């Protein structure tokens, strides 16, 4: 199964552009627990990264550091040329450029789908309401649920909610998208509709970091796969290499478990 079928050729990231994200020597602790050990990772513009690894290995923590939902304690994170520090203005700038999709959707239950999508454009980007609604409808069509615009999140299926969450992030026209296990809270029959939306996004050339265990998606979309275990990045490789010749013993073990 490891020999994959003919693969779509992604737009090659230009190595001369400044990288979208650059983490150097990053460390983080929760109290005494060293949750991220010396993370060095450069993500180029337009690049798609899939991050995998056993539960508790620090995947979520790492990508949440990128938009400052978690604070790192050592090392550097530079997003789009801006270094993340305590400077609140810089944090605002960086958050505006990064969209995030969560495992549990985190839609705002008291707002309609349309209001969920227009909230940030109106209040953060200062967009006019009509324009924000137009943008929202455009992205709802892209994720194929324009007819749900006036419902509340509680009235939608899990797969639909997650697609709304993707559309909500896109409404802010981010340069980078972070996905934290977007399909693991979904029933199996809904996984595909969400992955389809993500594939479409990848084809548009979005810079993407996805924590996911959907190896089919990884093979189809990822430029690189990052394997984490016990707070460290163990291995980083193209999907073809990673799946056929995992270099590390722990990667082999993980692949064996996940593919069977």
Ligand X SMILES: Nc1ncnc2c1ncn2[C@@H]1O[C@H](COP(=O)(O)OP(=O)(O)O)[C@@H](O)[C@H]1O
Give the range of 51-59, 80-88, 211-219, 235-243 binding other proteins by CB under 8 A.
80-88
Host H or E run for residue 227: strand 224-229
* CB-nearer residue toward ligand X: 51 or 143: 51
Question: Residue 125: phi, psi to the nearest 5?
Answer: -90, -5
Q: Name residues contacting ligand X, limited to 59-118 (CB under 6 A).
A: 59-61
Q: Which of 39, 53, 61 is nearest to 242 (CA)?
A: 53
Secondary structure string (H, E, C) spanning 22-64 = EEEEEEEEECCEEEEEEEEEEECCCCEEEEECCCCCCHHHHHH
Instruction: Report the nearest approach of ligand X to the CB of residue 258 (Å).
Output: 14
Instruction: Report the nearest approach of ligand X to the CB of residue 52 (Å).
Output: 9
Return the CA Rg of the chain: 18
What mask of x and - would describe binding to other proteins in positions 184 to 223, judged by CB under 8 A?
----------------------------------------
Q: Name residues contacting Mg ion, limited to 54-93 (CB under 5 A).
A: 60
Number of residues that bind ligand X (CB under 6 A): 10
Instruction: Report the nearest approach of other proteins to the CB of residue 97 (Å).
Output: 9
- CA 242-170-206 angle, to 5 degrees, is 35
Binding ligand X (rule: CB under 6 A), the pick from 26, 35, 66, 186 is 35
Residues ≥6 apart with Cβ < 8 Å to 74 = 25, 26, 27, 28
Binding other proteins (rule: CB under 8 A), the pick from 5, 32, 86, 257 is 86
Residues ≥6 apart with Cβ < 8 Å to 134 = none
Rounded distance between C-alpha atoms, residue 41 and residue 43, angstroms: 7
Rounded distance between C-alpha atoms, residue 251 and residue 189, angstroms: 28
Give the range of 17-25, 30-38, 129-137, 213-221 binding ligand X by CB under 6 A.
30-38
Binding ligand X (rule: CB under 6 A), the pick from 23, 50, 57, 202 is 57
Rounded distance between C-alpha atoms, residue 12 and residue 214, angstroms: 23
3-state secondary structure (DSSP) of residue 207: strand
Give the range of 9-17, 47-55, 88-96, 228-236 binding other proteins by CB under 8 A.
88-96
Binding other proteins (rule: CB under 8 A), the pick from 99, 158, 159, 182 is 99
Binding ligand X (rule: CB under 6 A), the pick from 46, 58, 174, 246 is 58
Burial status of residue 205 (CB atoms within 10 A of its CB: 0-12, 13-18, 19 or more): middle
Task: Return the one option of ligand X, other proteins, Mg ion, none that residue 2 interacts with (CB less than 5 to 8 A, by type).
Answer: none
Number of residues that bind other proteins (CB under 8 A): 31
- Quote the distance between the C-alpha of residue 188 and its chain's center: 20
List residues binding other proteins (CB under 8 A).
67-69, 86-92, 95-96, 98-100, 102, 104, 106-110, 119-120, 123-124, 152, 154, 168-169, 172
Contacts with ligand X, residue ranges (CB under 6 A):
30, 33, 35, 55-61
């Amino acid at each position: 199964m490891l020999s994959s079928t003919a693969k779509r050729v992604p737009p090659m990231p230009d190595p001369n552009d400044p990288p979208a994200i650059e983490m150097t020597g990053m460390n983080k602790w929760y109290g005494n627990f060293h949750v991220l050990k010396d993370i060095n990772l450069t993500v180029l513009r337009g690049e798609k990264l899939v991050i995998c690894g056993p539960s508790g290995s620090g995947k979520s923590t790492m990508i949440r550091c990128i938009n400052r939902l978690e604070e790192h304690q050592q090392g550097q994170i530079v997003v789009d040329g801006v270094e993340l520090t305590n400077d609140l203005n810089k944090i605002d700038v960086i958050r505006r450029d990064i969209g995030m999709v969560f495992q549990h959707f985190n839609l705002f239950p008291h707002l309609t789908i349309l209001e969920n999508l227009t909230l940030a454009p109106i209040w953060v980007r200062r967009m006019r309401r009509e324009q924000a609604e137009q943008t929202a409808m455009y992205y709802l069509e892209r994720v194929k649920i324009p007819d749900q615009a006036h419902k509340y999140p509680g009235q939608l299926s899990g797969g639909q909610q997650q697609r709304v969450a993707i559309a909500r992030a896109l409404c802010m026209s981010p340069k980078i998208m972070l996905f934290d296990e977007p399909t693991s809270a979904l029933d199996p029959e809904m996984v595909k509709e969400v992955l389809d939306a993500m594939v479409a996004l990848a084809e548009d050339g979005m810079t993407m970091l996805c924590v996911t265990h959907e190896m089919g998606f990884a093979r189809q979309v990822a430029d690189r796969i990052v394997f984490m275990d016990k707070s460290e990045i163990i291995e980083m490789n193209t999907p073809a290499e990673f799946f056929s010749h995992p270099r590390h013993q722990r990667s082999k073990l993980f692949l064996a478990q996940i593919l069977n």
